[in-house]
A and B are shown apart, each in its own frame.
Chain A
Amino acid sequence: MTIQEIESQLVDEFAAFDDWLDKYDLILDMGKSLPPIDPKYKTDQFIISGCQSKVWLHAEYRDGKVYFTADSDAIITKGIVSMLVSVLSGQTPDAIQSADLSFINRIGLNEHLSPTRSNGLASMVKQMKLYAMVFKMKG
């Protein structure tokens, strides 16, 4: 699936709920479906530190596509991490770099990607795009 298709699917899933607490229940479920990160990458080298919650991110490049695994110490952050990974993992560096990730906004979760939220997510998106750029340069 393309990034746009996965994004639309996520937006549809959230549209089914009116109350914010139900939307957050869905985010928690998404956190549970995040594939686990290899413990050897859950170190300070792979940490993206926010002031409120931490994110660990690892990327691999195989057959022209970037594969991400990640984790967070906060469950809501983990849920959003899971959405970002499901949208961007397995895509080409070009697609990752040009992704605008507007689904976050359309769902109404943009506050979580604000740099002032200090949960590590804004830096995580930056880091994912940086990985894509580096992999592309290395070819």
Chain B
Amino acid sequence: MAFNISDIRADFPILSQTIYKRPLIYFDNAATTQKPLQVINAISDYYLHDNCNIHRGVHYLSVKATEAFEEARKEIREFINAPSTHEVVFTKGASESLNLVAASFGKKFLGPGDEVITTIMEHHSNFVPWQIICGEKVASLKVANILPDGQLDLEHLYSLITERTKIIALTHVSNVLGTINPIKDIIAFAHAKGIPVLVDGAQGVSHLSVDVTDLDCDFYCFSGHKMYGPMGIGILYGKEKWLEELPPYQSGGEMVKDVTIEKTTYNELPFKFEAGTPNVEGVMGLRAAVQYLKKLGMEEIHAYEDKLLKHAVERLSAIKDMRFFGTAPSKASLVSFLVGDIHPFDAGTIIDKMGIAVRTGHHCAQPLIDHFGIPGTVRASFAFYNTIEEIDKLADAVSRVKTMFN
């Protein structure tokens, strides 16, 4: 469909407010995206008409809510082209999905002297869980470097692989640099050596068309709230053969088949990994978000966001002493930068007062920020509801920052 920005923005009422006497410009989309009315309405409709605990009642509402819940799972399966719905597990978010795999995979497959490979551009969510489990299992965590432009150093990554490598865990898209990693190639390379690959897709699904079957990844994790859906809901896609083998992460209701005083047998996939009453409102919201994205088209979204990115790079590059972090040729629509030696906190505070929401600091990727030897960056991350005019205002704000602090 054609991209009509004013129609799209009408779906996001939060964007039309005024802050500090200026129109709000929201460029913190990599932290969380705003939610369209369709998502907000799906959540309120659920509570107005369908609220019920699912999977266990025989009454009308329970059946209706369960059907909607499982219908949502089907739509999400289709959205990422997973082979089957039982490979789609609902979690609290990407962090929980990543913790689940690290804990369960580690418990079963890691032992002393084994190795896990990750990269220096990971969000803490795909770094700390591995650090913890490797510590527990006396395994080692190896970290692949990046090239100066923010691309993954593939040569270095591949050189880290040994016969002790049990899994490679890496991000699809860097939340600081915007780099889109060539995960399909990496997965093929790893599989040739019999090593599974987990992909942190938290920054991937909102910008790119993701096909987990084509990628052939073993795990793909993402959050609803970074893809225009609600907070507190996320997805773990895992290949059936792995999910069958992994021990449960949490226990409780729903995930069991039979419980006797002596022992418990676990429910089948995906319920084995969905202990307790799930976040049904979150699932309803996420379903609406997926429908919204499908209607716009991921290819169209990517093309439009790329236009925004190019314009931002062009306008910001014109400012003297601009330092970009992450200039890889294949990159999602965000810019991370510093202006000379101006502290990112100073820059961000002034940009905020000009009505523009950007993020400053280490973006939960301290190893990466330390690698650059800087206190942090200013990050402006774009979504399909942003406009060229808004980016012009960002460039003006950054120029103003430069004048103020020089």
**B345 at interface (Cβ–Cβ under 8 A)?**
yes
Give the chain A neighbours of B350 by CB distance below 8 A.
21, 24, 76
List the 8 shortest-distance A-B pairs measured between CB atoms, nearest first.
Answer: A74-B343, A20-B353, A74-B345, A52-B345, A53-B345, A76-B346, A52-B361, A75-B346
Contact A52 B376 (CB under 8 A): yes
**A60 at interface (Cβ–Cβ under 8 A)?**
no
A21 to B405, CA, bound (A): 12
Contact B343 A28 (CB under 8 A): no
**B193 at interface (Cβ–Cβ under 8 A)?**
no
CB closest residue in chain A, given B375: A73
Query: CB-defined interface of A59-85 with B at 8 Å, one 1/0 digit per residue?
Result: 000000000000001111100000000
**A137 at interface (Cβ–Cβ under 8 A)?**
no
Choice from A21, A52, A74, A76 contacting B400 with Cβ under 8 Å: A21
**A94 at interface (Cβ–Cβ under 8 A)?**
no
A sample of 21 cross-chain residue pairs with beta-carbon separation below 8 angstroms, ordered by A number, consists of A20-B20, A21-B353, A21-B400, A24-B349, A24-B350, A28-B404, A28-B405, A51-B361, A51-B362, A52-B361, A53-B345, A73-B343, A74-B345, A74-B346, A75-B342, A75-B343, A75-B346, A76-B349, A77-B345, A77-B346, A119-B345
**A12 at interface (Cβ–Cβ under 8 A)?**
no
**B354 at interface (Cβ–Cβ under 8 A)?**
yes
Give the chain A neighbours of B354 by CB distance below 8 A.
21
Interface centre among B346, B354, B362, B404 (most CB of A within 10 A): B346
Report B368 CB to chain A, min CB distance, Å. 15
**A13 at interface (Cβ–Cβ under 8 A)?**
no
Contact A76 B345 (CB under 8 A): yes
CB closest residue in chain A, given B343: A74
Give the chain A neighbours of B400 by CB distance below 8 A.
21
Report A72 CB to chain B, min CB distance, Å. 9
**B360 at interface (Cβ–Cβ under 8 A)?**
yes
Report B184 CB to chain A, min CB distance, Å. 35
Report B361 CB to chain A, min CB distance, Å. 5
Report A110 CB to chain B, min CB distance, Å. 14
Residues of B within 8 A of A (CB): 20, 342-346, 349-350, 353-354, 360-362, 375-376, 400, 404-405
Query: CB-defined interface of A106-129 with B at 8 Å, one 1/0 digit per residue?
Result: 000000000000110000000000
A76 to B353, CA, bound (A): 13
A75 to B349, CA, bound (A): 11
Give the chain A neighbours of B20 by CB distance below 8 A.
20
Known pairs A24-B349, A74-B346. 7 more at Cβ < 8 A?
A: A21-B404, A24-B350, A24-B353, A51-B362, A52-B375, A75-B405, A76-B350
Give the chain B neighbours of A118 by CB distance below 8 A.
361
Interface centre among A51, A74, A75, A77 (most CB of B within 10 A): A74
Contact B405 A52 (CB under 8 A): no
Query: CB-defined interface of A14-32 with B at 8 Å, one 1/0 digit per residue?
Result: 0000001100110010000
- Residues 21 to 58 of chain A near chain B (Cβ within 8 Å): 21, 24-25, 28, 51-53
A118 to B400, CA, bound (A): 24
A124 to B3, CA, bound (A): 49
A76 to B348, CA, bound (A): 10
CB closest residue in chain B, given A75: B346
Report A96 CB to chain B, min CB distance, Å. 26
Give the chain B neighbours of A76 by CB distance below 8 A.
345-346, 349-350
Give the chain B neighbours of A74 by CB distance below 8 A.
343, 345-346
A21 to B349, CA, bound (A): 10
Give the chain B neighbours of A119 by CB distance below 8 A.
345
Report B242 CB to chain A, min CB distance, Å. 35
Give the chain A neighbours of B361 by CB distance below 8 A.
51-52, 118
Give the chain A neighbours of B349 by CB distance below 8 A.
24, 76
CB closest residue in chain B, given A21: B353
Report B170 CB to chain A, min CB distance, Å. 25
CB closest residue in chain B, given A73: B343
Give the chain B neighbours of A20 by CB distance below 8 A.
20, 353
A21 to B350, CA, bound (A): 7
Contact A53 B375 (CB under 8 A): yes
